Amino acid sequence: MKKILYYIPLLLFICSCEDVIDLELESSKPRLVIDAQFSVYTTETPVRTNGLIKLSLTTDFFSTEQSPVTNATVSITDLNSGTVYPFTSNGTAGYYQSLTTTFTPEFNTRYKLDINYDNEDYTSETTLIPTVPIDNVEQGDGILFDEDDTELIVSFTDNVNRDDFYIFDLDFGEFLTTSDEFFQGETFKFSYYYDDLSSGKEVVVKINGADEQFFNYMDLILAQSGESPGGPFQPAPSTIRGNIINSTNADNYALGYFSISETYEYTITIN
C-alpha cells in the first residue's frame, strides 16, 4: 500500500539524517530475532493486553524463507512482585503466549524478559510506557497527487507534564514515529493519505507509548524496511541492535526488542 504523509502544521515533524549507518548483511551464523512487543489498553474493563513473543532466526539476504524458533524457554517476570509468567510455544510458527496466567502489565513496575535458546540466555527489561488517547480520526477530502487518494486526519492532545514519544500504527503494516518536541501540551493534527481504500473499508489507527530508546530503534527499523512487505517487524537482513542482551555470550547478540506500550485505538469506516 502506498502511503503519503502530510503534516499540519507542515514544519512540526522534522526528520534529519546526519550519520551514516553501516548495515551488516547476515550471511554467516543465524542470530536469534526476538519480537516481544505488548500493547496494553489501560482504560478498558477488564484491562486488555495484546501481544505475543515471536522468535525466529535471521536468514541470508536473498532468502525468502522464515525460520521460526519453537524450542526456547520463555518467561516474563514482574520484578516488583516476583510473579513469573511462562510463555509457551504454539508449536510451529515461533509464537509464544501466556497460557496459564494472564499477563497484565501495570505502571511503575519493571518487567524482565528471559529466553533460553540453544543453551544461551537472553534478557531484557522494560516498563509500561504511557501515551495519550486519540482525540479523533476523520475522513478528509484533501487530494495530494491522485484523486483516488483517501485522506485520514488524526488528532491527539499531548501531555504537557512529560516528554512523550509516539509510535502510530496506521493499519496495513504502516507505522509512523514522532515526539512532542515541537507541540508539547498542544493538540496536534496530521493527515495520512492512502491510495487503495474502498468504501466500507475499516481502518484501525493506534497510538502507542514509547521511551526514547524504543523510538530511536523504530526510526531505524522503519528507515531500513521502507516499502518492504510485512511491515517493520519482519526479520531484517541487516543488523539493528535492540534492547536484548545475551548474558551467556555477548558476541552472539540477538536482534529485536522488548517493549510494553500503553495503547489507544480509533476505528473509522471509509465512506
Residue pLDDT tens, the chain, 271 long:
545 454 544 333 433 344 444 445 545 689 999 999 999 999 999 999 999 999 999 976 555 566 999 999 999 999 999 999 999 998 889 999 998 778 999 999 999 999 999 999 999 999 999 999 999 999 999 877 777 899 999 999 999 999 999 999 999 999 999 999 999 999 999 999 998 899 999 999 999 999 999 999 999 999 887 644 445 555 444 578 999 999 999 999 999 999 999 999 999 999 9
Is 17 part of a structural domain of the chain?
Answer: no
Residues 73 and 49 in one domain: yes
Instruction: Give the other-Cβ count within 10 Å of 1's Cβ.
Output: 13
* Bridge pairing between strands 255-269 and 120-129: parallel
SS3 call for 183: coil
- 149-167 burial string, b = 16+ CB within 10 Å, else e? bbbbbbebebeeeeebbbb
Whether 205 is in a domain gets the answer: yes
Domain membership of residue 183 (yes or no) is yes
Q: Are residues 37 and 105 in the same domain?
A: yes
Q: Please indicate, yes or no, if residue 196 is contained in any of the structural domains.
A: yes
Q: Are residues 237 and 119 in the same domain?
A: yes
Residue-number span of the structural domain to which 149 is assigned: 3-11+132-210
Per-residue pLDDT, 61 = 56
Q: 37 and 53: one domain?
A: yes
**Whole-model pTM?**
0.85
Q: Is residue 16 part of a domain?
A: no
Domain assignment present for 81: yes
- 175 part of a folded domain: yes
Whether residue 9 has a cis bond before it, omega within 30° of 0: yes
Does the residue 95 lie in any domain?
yes
Structural domains in the chain (count): 2
Q: What distance in Å separates the CA atoms of residue 250 and residue 125, rounded to the nearest whole number? A: 16
Same-domain pairing of 58 and 167? no
CATH code for the domain in which residue 167 is found: 2.60.40
My answer on whether 74 and 124 are in the same domain is: yes
Cell triple for 22? 553501516
Same domain, yes or no, for 66 and 96?
yes
